[in-house]
A and B are shown apart, each in its own frame.
Chain A
Amino acid sequence: MAVVTALPHELDPVAGAPRSYWRTVAWRLAHDRTTLAAGTVLTLIVLSAVLAPWLAPYDPNAGSIRLRLAPVGAPAHLLGTDEQGRDMLSRLLWGGRMTLVAALTPVVVGFVLGTGLGVLAGYVGGLANTLVMRTMDIFYAFPAVLLAIAISGALGPGLTNTVISLSIVFVPRVVRVAESATVQVKGLEYIAAARASGAGVGPIMRHHLLANVLGPILVFASTQVSLSIILAAGLSFLGLGVTPPAAEWGLMLNTLRQSIYVNAVVPALPGLAIFVTSMAFNLLSDGLRDAMEIRG
């Protein structure tokens, strides 16, 4: 995926001080076109979602029955209107807000809680490990989609409940990755060397363990964003997520479903938005993984 280019100091071993690790990562990212493109697309999507109140030409929830299902490029409605005559561009912009919040929050929660629990289980080991990991296994026994649907069904629809149910899906996944990374790093000799020098748990965690464990966990979490987008949209599509009339891509896909025979392009737009966003996240996490790799 990424084009591996030699760093200046790799070409000339006697050249001055090499860059720090994170500067190296940034340098690699800046020279990886696919990742740059994905990053640009994502920035635009996030910006458009954040700036939706100022960018949207119309109120996303105000429709006009006379203007139902106007085609793309209709006068005054650049991307047409939906089955209730609401402006599609405005709804897509506002919908992005909702979808991104519903999808990113659970991954962030999963990253924070999952890393905490996983590193704890991996570092302490023994009974703590058994308790944490077997509990996670219970959640792991269900496929992600089924688990999200079951929890959302139990909690009822709404943005908060969507975030809660998706967080429950992502925490165990991150815990697993964090635990295995921790166990692997903990067994390495530089940890033993730090212990032999009299270092306590705190400094070992900060300087040796987290520094080497956070990278892989971060990359894993970034791969989960696209799944989260699809799950969040899927929940709304099923009526378990964001409730109408709020704009959300999955929900829009659902309500426009029957209009596909009248106008095939307009109902496809929310699907396209979901596709492009999750694809961009996937490409970005690929690039991140390549850039963060330590090459010998």
Chain B
Amino acid sequence: MEIEILIIDDDPIFHLMISNLLKNLGVSKVKSILDPKEGLKYLLTHKDVPDILFLDINMPKLSGWQLLDSLNNSKVDLLSMKIYIVTSSIDKYDTDKSKGYNIVNFLNKPLKPDTLRKIVVEF
């Protein structure tokens, strides 16, 4: 079965980079959403959640943390997808905060091709 990946990030360049890298890894089922509110709506309304979610933190209108909180309060099955916070932030506050969400993993931008390969292979 092919891996499904969802990317929620307001930066179009990040989408360009990650989808190219994923393409190199042979992953083709990639959905890119720029607007976090739209991303939340997508997750709430689609019955089948993606296998992997790459989520940015600092986004206008709705932060990654707020999006996660909304998901936590919904019926979405968070355990059936692997969630990666991907952020350029090296702020200790953000890494500490991610530890409070035991279902998420924390990755720093720029995402290295090797890191991405491991994530996809290990899945």
The reply to whether chain A is a binding partner of chain B is no
- A residues near B (Cβ < 8 Å) are none
- B residues near A (Cβ < 8 Å) are none
